[in-house]
Structure 1
Amino acid sequence: MPHAIPILPDDQLAPMFARYDSAVRARRRHTLIMAAVVGVCIVLSCWMGEVRPLVFLAHADRLPNYFWSILPTLHWNTFFADLSEWYWNLDHWLKLLVDTIFIAYLGTLLGGVGAFFLCFLACANLVANPFIRVTARRFLEFCRTVPELVFALLFVVAFGLGPLPGVLALAIHTLGSLGKLFAEVVENIDMKPVEGATASGASWAQSVRFAVVPQVASNFASYGLLRFEINVREASIMGFVGAGGIGQDLIEAIRKFYYSDVSAILLLIIATVMVIDLLTEQVRHRLIGMEDRR
């Protein structure tokens, strides 16, 4: 037989419905308040940023026109000749593109090594001393808060034009960014191996080496590859401030209105970044798969 559904008396249901209605009204009130705050922030941001929709609509055709103007003139009958004229400086651009990749690689390597050693000091589950932990975290925040171009400008003033300022700028920003990501990975590890190593008499460094690093190595490598992808794109614009790479020729072509050169360099950068992204994506997926199978 079907179970009978009990029906409470009205004097018991009324307080329950009242509480439910009160909770619904409170939720709606909070939602409206949050929507109002977001709306006010949008208005203030538009005001401070001098966002003018009418001006934007009036000049909206300039960007498409610019992209149209940088497109090369290619004819089917003279395709290879036009292509050769479009990439007239290909050897030099490829050299600068290789420089850009090496700048990103060296910056990622230096920053990743620094992040590897500092991230353990910023973890609450490994460092009990709050002074050491807070100092490490604030240092990592400083490194990733200042934009790479600002660091590059400072290093250009200090060391002159060339790839070195770009490498140092990317290394510092990578140190801060990867340090935060690495620390979050470490704070989510299984602490039982660490406790076992400590109980057996291992020092702090030995516990990190044998109980922590094996758990986080694949994630560290995955984040490092992801950061390398980002740094390749960042290194492409380091030349804007004289910090080496292909960005120097790109900004010169933009300033001097060498339209065909702009499109040629942009296409080289896009193709390079796409290839690197595809390759590192495959490696990262394999590393994540290895971690999931553990």
Structure 2
Amino acid sequence: MATAVPVLPAAQAKALADAYKAAVAARRQRTLLVLAIIVVLVFVSAQLAHVRPLTLIANIGNFGGFIGRTIPKISAGNFFGDIAEWYWAFPKWLGLLWQTILIAYLGTLMGAVVAFLLCFHASANLARSRWSRIAARRFLEFCRTVPDIVFALIFVIAFGLGPMAGVLALSIHTAGALGKLFAEVVENIDMKPVEGLSAAGASWVQIIRFAVLPQVAPGFASYALLRFEINVRGAGVMGFVGAGGIGQEFLVAIRNFYYTDVSAILLMIIATVILIDLGTEQIRHRLINPEGVK
């Protein structure tokens, strides 16, 4: 049985159509206005930051020339010999690269421990008092606001050159970054187990152990692994200020214009970061969604 479709009166339909067109036009005008404001802000920011597109275009060839000089000459007739000459200090670079990974690992581990201890005090739903929450949050903000390279410079001055300065710098910055992420994970938990244990007379530590940790453990581990990836990159830069790792050797190659050494070390760093990213990505996916990973 056919159902009749009601038809609006012509005057009412015209009024609705005009209102729709006016709304669309107003939204289009707002969009154009926002885009115009963004363009103006980008232009003003570029001027204040002395970003000169013409200078970039005029000197882009220098960048290409530098990249060209870092590419070694490899011939098919002497392929393995050319590769061996390119990576003439491979054992030394590999040792420094391994040191870089260890710096990142220790910095991540120490920072994650501090973040774990403070995140419950910094979360709004589990903080034992308002002042403890404020103190924990301000401390974590300080740790992640100061760049890790600045901490590395301070520790190099205090403790001398070496990996120790890099580990301490990364651990402090990692504590601030992970502390905020961990606190956000804690704030999004289901509070029913917490309320149940609290009603049963459990202590604050017992509530954390039995009601909170089972919910947040996968998220904590995932963020810690992600931070480890970031710290591997950061540890490579620490060597620029003498805080250990392959970064110092990389800086020496740049300063002394050892172009092929620059490309060799850079490729080793890139390959290491890619392998770590691939490995930790699989682990993070298994932790977050164990049933969805085959």
Q: Give your verdict on TM over 0.5.
A: yes
- 2:13 & 2:205 partners in 1: Cα distance? 62
Q: 1:243 to 1:93 in 2, by over 3 A?
A: same
Structure 1, residues 53-90: CA drift from partner, whole Å, max 9, x if none?
Answer: 11111111111221111111222222222222222212
What pairs with 1:141-290 in structure 2 (closer than 5 Å)? 141-290=141-290
Structure 1, residues 72-129: CA drift from partner, whole Å, max 9, x if none?
Answer: 1222222222222222212211111111011000000011111111111121121263
Q: 1:290 to 1:264 in 2, by over 3 A?
A: same
SS in 2 for 1:290: coil
2:162/2:243 contact within 8 Å kept: yes
1:121/1:132 contact within 8 Å kept: yes
How far did residue 137 of structure 1 move? Answer: 2.1
1:219/1:291 contact within 8 Å kept: no
Partner of 2:127: 127
Partner of 1:109: 109
What RMSD in Å do the two structures reach over aligned CA positions? 2.1
- 1:137 & 1:103 partners in 2: Cα distance? 26
Partner of 2:99: 99
Look up the equivalent residue of 2:239 and give its one-letter code: G
Partner of 1:60: 60
Where in structure 2 are there 5+ consecutive unaligned residues? none
Where in structure 1 are there 5+ consecutive unaligned residues? none
How far did residue 203 of structure 1 move? Answer: 1.2
Q: 1:139 to 1:28 in 2, by over 3 A?
A: farther
How far did residue 142 of structure 1 move? Answer: 2.1
- 1:33 & 1:66 partners in 2: Cα distance? 42
The number of residue pairs the alignment matches comes to 293
How far did residue 33 of structure 1 move? Answer: 3.3
Look up the equivalent residue of 1:97 and give its one-letter code: L
Look up the equivalent residue of 2:191 and give its one-letter code: M
1:5 aligns with 2:5: yes
Query: When the two structures are superposed, what TM-score results if normalisation uses the length of structure 2?
Result: 0.92
- 1:224 & 1:150 partners in 2: Cα distance? 22
Q: 1:27 to 1:16 in 2, by over 3 A?
A: same
Look up the equivalent residue of 1:220 and give its one-letter code: F
How far did residue 162 of structure 1 move? Answer: 0.9
What pairs with 1:43-54 in structure 2 (closer than 5 Å)? 43-54=43-54
1:218/1:290 contact within 8 Å kept: no
2:121/2:128 contact within 8 Å kept: no
- 2:217 & 2:188 partners in 1: Cα distance? 13
**Identity rate, percent:** 60
- 1:48 & 1:148 partners in 2: Cα distance? 26
1:218/1:291 contact within 8 Å kept: no
Q: 1:42 to 1:291 in 2, by over 3 A?
A: farther
Query: When the two structures are superposed, what TM-score results if normalisation uses the length of structure 1?
Result: 0.92
1:101/1:232 contact within 8 Å kept: yes
Partner of 1:41: 41
SS in 2 for 1:77: coil
- After superposing the two structures, state which structure 1 stretch, 99-108 or 185-194, moved more: 185-194
